[in-house]
Amino acid sequence: LNLNSSQICQSKLQTMATRFLVAAVAAFAHMICIIMMLIPAVEATTGVTRSTIINRRGADTTSITSSMEITAFGELEDGAPVTDECTYDGGIISFSHPMSLKSSDKFFSTGNLQLSAIEMMIDEINTSPRCGVTVGGKKHGIHLTTFGDDSSKDKVSAIVKNGMMPLAESTEYVGSYWVGPYSSGLTGSMSPLANATDDPTAAKTVLVAGGAASTPVFAGNPTIFGTFPP
């Protein structure tokens, strides 16, 4: 087999380029290994955590539904004033609930869909032309507080006692209602604390358990309502 000088030169260049590429990849891999050894190991967080994600949404100046400032869109093109600003002369009603907010949570997928539906409801009620819930001729805005529950029964119980019950007792709101998380198991851990019984530790509030279907969640609890058939 006869090869001219040009072909030989090209073959050598290709060999050199291949060797250089292999050496570069090896050096890069070695560098990554050294960096990984220098960086302290960080274990992934799973299960129940000490910290809690809290999202707030509703009829106030820091809410998503109020984020479109009237001053930014103060007039229409013909100079007429904007008339769709809402006034909640009856006060604010609190809605609060646990929900699986992290992608690693067991019930994140379905819980996220349920949360989106709840937020859509809050936005639809709070914004014009509805402008809240009308009771006794007055408009009441709704404030939603969502607590990340890590898909844990123990976390739900802690959230109810340390987060939701204080909201139910707060004078900031004219009323307080609870919404259940996804799954009968998680909802069942909070239903006794919501039921209006003679138990002095109960919040005595209405709980809408949209993600639960198990009969024990509702049995003997007259203030708990579901949307699924048993």
Spatial CB neighbours of 8, under 8 Å, sequence gap ≥ 6: none
Cα gap 32→25, rounded to integer Å:
11
- Reply yes or no on whether the pLDDT at 96 is more than 90: yes
Cα gap 204→164, rounded to integer Å:
12
The residue with greater pLDDT, 196 or 67, is 196
Our measurement of the distance from residue 102's CA atom to the centroid of its chain's CA atoms, rounded to an integer in Å, reads 8
Cα gap 54→57, rounded to integer Å:
10
Cα gap 122→179, rounded to integer Å:
12
pLDDT bucket at 193, cuts 50 / 70 / 90: confident
pTM for the model stands at 0.68
